[in-house]
Homo-oligomer: A and B are copies of this chain.
Amino acid sequence: MAETRSTARTGGSRQRASHSLEAVVGEAVALLDEDGEAALTFRALAARLGGGVGSIYWYVSGKDELVARASDHVLAGVLADTEGATGSPDPVDDLRAVAVAFFEAVSSRPWLGAYFLRDVDLQPNAVLLYERLGQQVLRLHLPPRETFHAVSAVMGYVIGTAADLGRRPEAAGGDAAEPERGLDDLVAHWRGLDPEQFPFIRHVVEEFAVHEDAEQFRAGLDLLLAGLRLQADRQR
């Protein structure tokens, strides 16, 4: 990480902080990543930047724009990571690879889901990512409507699942002091349900108890992609 703030000395008297849009957005993402959504406060951000609250408004019109730009900042990384992953012979494989990278970015940042593609002007990378997902589907040569629906479905599934899983309490191992009423409690509660009334839950509790989020995501994604492949094959 490079220096994000520069304090200029004028004589020996006072100093003024000097920011930039990149510094503001970068520190916002850092705050979000380190301490979660609630920690992103104009006061906390100003303290981190070493300046006053008001300065932030010079670069950003308000909190909505700040978070929208923070989202886009993260997506730049997803774009970089999937740069080379789109030339395989099977378009569906490429689509899967981009979706997985996208999922990883969002599941560790549940706030991102709610802001993705909300304001195109502030989120050029979101548009590029949407386009990249779409270009893989384009190679299946479906009609425009089916192409649109397929890409929308993948996006909806990725964002929805990621935000959902990202918000759930971490699996075992948890933080020291407070066990957080986590997954274990839920499993215990579900094991005790009446098998007559809750046959499904009783059928899957043990799977739920040992499941891993990333695997669960991939399994669902594969169902969706299988459906898509089927549709593409029918098309021919």
Interface residues, chain A, CB within 8 Å of chain B? Answer: 113-114, 116, 118, 120, 127, 130-131, 133-135, 137-138, 144-153, 155-161, 163-165, 167-168, 186, 189, 197-201, 203-204, 206-208, 211, 216-217, 219-228, 230-231
Contacts and interface: CB of A to CB of B under 8 A. Distances in A.
A217 B153 CA distance: 7
Nearest to A224: B224
Contacts of A152: 161, 216, 219-220
A113 to B, nearest CB: 7
B230 A151 contact: no
Interface of A is mostly: helix
Given A199-B135, A199-B138, A231-B223, A160 B151 contact: no
Q: How many copies does the complex hold?
A: 2
Given A134-B201, A206-B144, A156 B160 contact: yes
17 contacts: A113-B160, A113-B164, A131-B197, A134-B201, A134-B203, A135-B200, A149-B216, A152-B220, A153-B219, A153-B223, A155-B164, A156-B164, A157-B161, A223-B224, A224-B224, A226-B227, A226-B230
Nearest to A115: B167
Contact of A157 (B149, B156, B225): B156
Contacts of A148: 204, 207-208, 211, 216
A227 B232 CA distance: 13
Contacts of A198: 127, 131
A83 to B, nearest CB: 15
A157 B199 contact: no
A157 B148 CA distance: 16
Given A156-B164, A157-B157, A160-B163, A204 B120 contact: no
Nearest to A153: B220
Q: Which of A160, A197, A201 has the most CB atoms of chain B within a 10 A radius of its CB?
A: A160
Given A163-B160, A201-B130, A203-B147, A189 B120 contact: yes
Contacts of A186: 120
B200 A151 contact: yes
Contacts of A200: 130-131, 133-135, 137-138, 147, 151
